[in-house]
Amino acid sequence: MPFAQDYFTERDRPVKKIMRFVVWMCKRFEREEILEIVDELIKILNNENPDIKFRDDFKKEHPNYRDFSTDPLAPLDAADIVKPVPTLNYKSILIEYERKHGKPLKPVNVRDDKNRVPSQTVCPNCSAPHEYIYYNDGKKRAQLKCKVCSHTFQLNKKYTSKTKFFCPYCFNALFKWKQRDEVTIYKCGNDNCPHRLTKLNKLNKNEKEIRTQKSSQFKINYQYRDYHYEISELNVESPHKPKVSLERIHNDRSVFALILTLHISYAITARKTAHMLKSIWGIVVSHQTVLNYTQTAAYYCHKFNQQHKGDIDDINAGDETYTKVKGVWHYVWMFICTKSKKICAYHLSDNRGAKPAITTMLDAVSTAKPDQDITLVTDGNPSYQAGLHFINAKQDKLKIQLKKVIGLQNMDDESDEFRPYKQMIERLNRTYKYHVQAQNGFGAINGAISKLVLFVTYYNFLRPHTTLGYKTPIHIPELDFIDTIQGKWSKIISLAV
């Protein structure tokens, strides 16, 4: 639409959105149909059709309402807390006091030697000597106060903090806020924390009024989610060890490869694959044999995929899509390298929570170079934010940042910049759906995992890409002089075994 680009600036996104919709309507409907649409819209505007409601613009007017996000900065532990160096000099303060008041600041007049502080006492804030320090709590003699800078402190702390984490912005201890089965949430309670003040300044007038009544609806304070598992415990789902051994199958290895070609490469169902083998080549196998061979191949190909994944790109896109197992929705997680086009991570789970997101993200960056700057592009699923928080807290070798692409329209600069990468993973999801939609779901978890593993094997090593000059994302030299797909499948199985 050249006219939309000519007449509207970048600030006029809502207008451009409406113009695109108008152009779309003119292409889809005839003149009479558009007139009918206009008549119906006028009725709606005049409240003549109460069943149709306008979209609520509450989120637009309150952009920070229920805005779930996890801060990318990991908390500090006790070893990271460095005792602050005195920033004030008591001598300078004394000179300024004498200039302002016309007389020097006298030391503390101690009438009773019992109230005299130890001679080695020094103010931690301005380094003033003991002559300017006195007990500030009477007979308790636990709190000291500096007469020069008015700083209060304790000489010998009776209680030590048992907290595990400290705020990375204000260095205050985090308190345990919520306890759940797989995560403990810690929160910063400092009202003057720079992070909290920044969040408060972002609230508009209406949001500040709502916050006076529903303060829990705005995430203001710094929070850290401490998940109850370690990186070593998070492994992607892998196929089970097959019941059918490659050495004991009744058919030739070429038949085994031909089954993978039809069932995986060309996305033909198991029953149709068995039917085609019998009708075209006279090979009699059952559809269950096709499924058994698939699970056998997946067991070896999973290790082959991991061993030959190689380095990842600086920018990688990830998303999750749906599949059915025993009539229940499960979720397939994948990350794709935006430059080499290879799938660098895949996982299957029964939920869209933080744990499967973390597992997939860890698998994606498992082959990254030390000190590599990695950008992960995802949608607005908060599980990815929690995953980034977890990874940054558990390791410091990689520099990982997360970029979110929200919705179908670019309503912010970040979505506008990284939208092309998000479209890559969406296209990958459609390719995966093409290969599994004929399945109409899976009867077991292992079947879904096996199909996912072999799809990745086909996508990375066998499927040519137009953007790569009809080359495969990952080059295997042993496949260069093999012309047929079944021959390449046979060679991959031999290499995997």
Average pLDDT over residues 73-100: 78
Instruction: Reduce the DSSP state of residue 388 to 3 states and report it.
Output: helix
**Per DSSP, which regions of 368-433 are E strands?**
373-378, 399-404
Residue 34 to residue 23: CA distance in whole angstroms: 12
Q: What is the pLDDT of residue 450?
A: 93
Whose CA is closest to 149, among 83, 84, 85, 92? 92
Q: What is the pLDDT of residue 232?
A: 84
Q: pLDDT of 439-490, one tens digit each?
A: 678 888 999 999 999 999 999 999 999 889 999 999 999 998 898 999 999 9
Band of residue 2 on the pLDDT scale cut at 50, 70, 90: very low
Residue 315 to residue 373: CA distance in whole angstroms: 9
Per-residue pLDDT for 73 more than 60?
yes
Residue 203 to residue 44: CA distance in whole angstroms: 33
How many residues would you count in the chain?
A: 497
Between 68 and 21, the higher pLDDT residue: 21
Backbone angles phi, psi at 145, to 5 degrees: -135, 140
Per-residue pLDDT for 85 more than 90?
no
Residue 38 to residue 342: CA distance in whole angstroms: 48
Average pLDDT over residues 314-332: 92
Q: What is the pLDDT of residue 345?
A: 93
Band of residue 4 on the pLDDT scale cut at 50, 70, 90: very low
Q: Please list the alpha-helical segments (H only) found in 243-364.
A: 253-260, 270-280, 287-307, 354-364
Return all residues near 218 (Cβ < 8 A) that are at least 6 apart: 64, 65, 66, 67, 199, 203, 207, 210, 211
Band of residue 82 on the pLDDT scale cut at 50, 70, 90: low
Band of residue 346 on the pLDDT scale cut at 50, 70, 90: very high
Element (H, E) at 244: none
Band of residue 226 on the pLDDT scale cut at 50, 70, 90: confident
Band of residue 274 on the pLDDT scale cut at 50, 70, 90: very high
Lookup result for tokens 């993200």: 361
Residue ranges of domains in the chain: 2-54, 90-154, 163-232, 300-496
Average pLDDT over residues 269-293: 92
Q: Sign of torsion, CA 36 42 47 50?
A: positive
Lookup result for tokens 């597992």: 359
Q: Are 116 and 99 in contact (CB under 8 A)?
A: no
Whose CA is closest to 149, among 199, 204, 93? 93
Q: pLDDT of 192-220, one tens digit each?
A: 899 999 988 988 888 888 888 877 778 88
Q: What is the pLDDT of residue 485?
A: 92
Element (H, E) at 184: strand 183-188
Whose CA is closest to 153, among 53, 59, 234, 86? 86
Instruction: Please state, rounded to an integer, the average pLDDT across all residues of the chain.
Output: 85
What DSSP string runs through 343-383? Answer: EEEEEEESS-SHHHHHHHHHHHTTTPPTT-EEEEEE-S-HH
* Token pair in block for residue 120: 């080695």
* Token pair in block for residue 144: 């000291």
Task: Please provide the CATH number assigned to the domain covering 300-496.
Answer: 3.30.420.10
Q: Are 311 and 369 in contact (CB under 8 A)?
A: yes
Q: How many whole angstroms from its chain centre is CA 431? A: 23
Q: Are 478 and 491 in contact (CB under 8 A)?
A: yes
Q: pLDDT of 449-463, one tens digit each?
A: 999 999 999 999 999
Residue 208 to residue 62: CA distance in whole angstroms: 10
* Token pair in block for residue 12: 């006029």
Per-residue pLDDT for 180 more than 80?
yes
Q: What is the pLDDT of residue 278?
A: 92
Between 146 and 158, the higher pLDDT residue: 146
Widest Cα–Cα separation across the chain? 112
* Token pair in block for residue 252: 């030739």
Residue 185 is given by DSSP the state E
Q: What is the pLDDT of residue 392?
A: 80
Average pLDDT over residues 293-319: 92
Band of residue 69 on the pLDDT scale cut at 50, 70, 90: low
Per-residue pLDDT for 61 more than 70?
no
Amino acid identity, position 343: I
Backbone angles phi, psi at 178, to 5 degrees: -135, 145
Return all residues near 123 (Cβ < 8 A) that are at least 6 apart: 86, 90, 132, 133, 146, 148, 149, 151, 153
